[in-house]
């Protein structure tokens, strides 16, 4: 069983992963990929990341679910096969385009939820639009936790 970037949407990712693990037959594997951490020194990218984390947190979920995998290790009948954090290279323009799409999809909901003002949203949208033609690389640190567990009993 494999899930990528799904636990980040769940209100209780550890319990959900445990439920998934319970469905795996003896000898079977559960593989999980979740964001460990994303950060940027660029002010527009970091402002978007802060807003995105707040939006996800408002739903009861955790955008960076990778650090939550620890408790699974102690779970009965599961043995950790792999646990690594890999850096995914993401160019500034790619991050900006992706973030701009999220912003457009959210519409004004972040304002309605009190997470930012309309002016801040407008500024962020303009800044991301400018960055989408940037040739910069190395401004974003995007870390993904990859873990797998084998069911031994």
Ligand X SMILES: C[S@@+](CC[C@H](N)C(=O)[O-])C[C@H]1O[C@@H](n2cnc3c(N)ncnc32)[C@H](O)[C@@H]1O
Stretch that binds ligand X, among 5-13, 23-31, 52-60, 133-141 (CB under 6 A): 5-13
Residue 5 lies near ligand X (rule: CB under 6 A): yes
Task: Name the one range near ligand X by CB under 6 A: 2-10, 17-25, 40-48, 131-139.
Answer: 2-10
Alpha-carbon separation of residue 77 from 16, 68, 69, 150 (angstroms): 16, 19, 16, 8
For the sheet with 2-4, list strands across it: 2-4, 29-40, 140-151, 78-87
Count of residues near ligand X by CB under 6 A: 4
Tell me: does residue 6 bind ligand X (CB under 6 A).
Answer: yes
By CB under 6 A, residue 37 contacts ligand X: no
Q: Which of 120, 78, 81 is nearest to 103 (CA)?
A: 120
Min dist CB 116 to ligand X, Å, is: 22
Closest to ligand X by CB, 38 or 127: 38
Gyration radius from the chain CA atoms: 18
Question: With the C-alpha atoms ordered 110, 115, 121, 127, is the resulting torsion angle positive or negative?
Answer: negative
Minimum Å gap between C-beta 10 and ligand X is 6
Asked if residues 68 and 16 have their Cβ atoms less than 8 Å apart, the reply is no
| Residue 80 contacts ligand X per CB under 6 A | no
User: Contact residues for ligand X (CB under 6 A)?
Assistant: 4-6, 9
């Amino acid at each position: 069983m494999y899930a990528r970037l799904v636990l980040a949407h769940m209100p209780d990712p550890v319990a959900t992963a445990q439920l998934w693990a319970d469905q795996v037959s003896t000898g079977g594997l559960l593989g999980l990929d979740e964001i460990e951490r994303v950060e940027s020194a660029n002010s527009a990218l970091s402002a978007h990341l802060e807003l995105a984390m707040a939006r996800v947190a408002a739903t009861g979920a955790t955008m960076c679910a990778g650090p939550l995998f620890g408790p699974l290790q102690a779970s009965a009948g599961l043995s950790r096969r792999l646990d690594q954090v890999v850096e995914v290279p993401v160019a500034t323009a790619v991050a900006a385009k992706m973030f701009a799409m999220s912003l457009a999809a959210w519409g004004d909901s972040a304002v309605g939820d009190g997470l930012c003002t309309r002016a801040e949203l407008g500024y962020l949208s303009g800044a991301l639009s400018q960055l989408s033609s940037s040739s910069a690389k190395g401004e974003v640190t995007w870390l993904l936790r990859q873990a797998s567990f084998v069911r031994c009993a």
